Amino acid sequence: MLDKRRLHAPGSPPCTLLFVAALTITGCLSFWLLNGCPGPPLLVSSPMVAQSPAYVLILPGNGSVHPRPYVLSELPPDDETTLIDVRNFRFVINHEPCNKTQPLLLMLIHSAPSNIPKRMVIRETWGQRRNGAIVLFLIGTDDKLQNQIEEEDKIYGDIVQGNFKDAYRNMTYKHVMALKWATYHCPGAKYVLKLDDDVFVHTPAMLEFLSHDLSPWGARRLILCDLMAMAMVKRSWRSKWRVSPLEYPGKTYPVYCAGWAIIYSPDSVFSLYREAQKESYFWIDDVHITGTLAKKVNLTQTPLNSLILKKERLKAVLEKQNSPGDFLFGPANMAESDIRALWYIVTSKPWPSFN
Ligand SMILES: *[C@@H]1O[C@H](CO)[C@@H](O)[C@H](O)[C@H]1NC(C)=O
Ligand SMILES: *[C@@H]1O[C@H](CO)[C@@H](O)[C@H](O)[C@H]1NC(C)=O
Ligand SMILES: *[C@@H]1O[C@H](CO)[C@@H](O)[C@H](O)[C@H]1NC(C)=O
Ligand SMILES: *[C@@H]1O[C@H](CO)[C@@H](O)[C@H](O)[C@H]1NC(C)=O
């Protein structure tokens, strides 16, 4: 349970009202987690949000304006068995953890069949079972490892596997599979968080952020992430991200989200999914889905800015046991040992009880 007193201190107006006022007056998103109410807004510095937010929050009285994020009947009849240009798509391993429930947060983690140690770290740290959140690992196929994956899934029941080959250039299949899974199997989720398997999510802070700084009823048109602007298309043969002019003719990519952590509202998931199913394949998934397709369907990304713990800061936290302060995500590409260490620091601190 959330400690309401922290947010509604005696004598101060309720946060929700302040928030609506802040949103209306300044168009800013404020973040006063841990600071009581009202705290210093941390997410206001970007000119991109300073004008008016690109998303809408669902608040009491606003629900009827945004009744349902989407209806599945808008999709073509063969959509379920299609994944972009794969015509016989199916889930080899699947689960129904949402089954009529409406989790606040659905976390879909891109993983690779062989990344068992990474999945174990997540299960033991920030991905532990907790109310309001569902954690699943998304993988493709690898014939040599299939038995092992099935054994792992028997124990943990948190793997979703699609019948495409798990390969570097197949990342976009995985991302669209994530959008597909959320669309068909967890339509009630208020927020969908797409992640990589080498990241750190401060899950208690995240649930608090979603339900108090955003809205427990969810949002519309939301894509919240680490924004990449004016990124050059890599043409060098030495680059891991080399793209030929045939694959992508332009010199720069549109504004897009770094793929390691992206918060979507369910309607954003749906419109990006529907568009992805119609478009030709481009293998850099974050550029394609959160850049090219987001632009096509007229969605604007909102930057996470200060809610990411920077690399240097993480170093100080791990070496000197400094307090990490308020954050939702660690830096991208974390070592497993650092994920464990940061989780220990975050959870052994006196932290208001969330459950
Ligand atoms: C409530 O919905 C209306 C209509 O879509 C929108 O203009 C307004 O910004 C919403 N309120 C909040 C706080 O998101
Ligand atoms: C969903 O939950 C109900 C009751 O909790 C159960 O009977 C049913 O089998 C579940 N369905 C799936 C697909 O897991
Ligand atoms: C991607 O997956 C498809 C479908 O399984 C497969 O035909 C293709 O070879 C894979 N691509 C790579 C680079 O492995
Ligand atoms: C795109 O979305 C904005 C609101 O975010 C709206 O004002 C505008 O009319 C939309 N444009 C198109 C072409 O749908």
Task: Give the pTM.
Answer: 0.84
Please tell me if the CB atom of residue 53 comes closer than 6 angstroms to any atom of ligand 4.
Answer: no
Q: Where are the domains of the chain?
A: 4-61, 72-307
Q: Which of 172, 135, 127, 139 is nearest to 284 (CA)?
A: 172
Give 30's DSSP letter. Answer: -
Measure 299 CA to ligand 4 centroid, in angstroms: 8
CA distance 288 to 182: 18
Measure 104 CA to ligand 1 centroid, in angstroms: 20
Please tell me if the CB atom of residue 233 comes closer than 6 angstroms to any atom of ligand 1.
Answer: no
Averages of pLDDT over each 10 residues, the chain, 355 residues: 30 36 36 34 41 87 75 94 97 94 96 98 97 97 98 98 97 98 96 98 97 95 95 94 94 96 97 97 97 97 92 92 89 96 84 45
For the CA of 54, the closest atom of ligand 4 is 5
User: What pLDDT does residue 333 have?
Assistant: 95
User: What pLDDT does residue 325 have?
Assistant: 87
For the CA of 300, the closest atom of ligand 4 is 5
β-pair partners for 91: 162
| Helical segments of the chain, H only | 4-7, 15-26, 47-50, 116-124, 146-156, 171-185, 203-208, 266-278, 285-286, 294-296, 311-320, 336-348
Number of H helices, E strands in the chain: 12, 10
Measure 291 CA to ligand 3 centroid, in angstroms: 23
Length of the chain: 355
Q: Which of 174, 178, 166, 205 is nearest to 107 (CA)?
A: 178
Is the CATH number of domain 72-307 3.40.50.261?
A: no
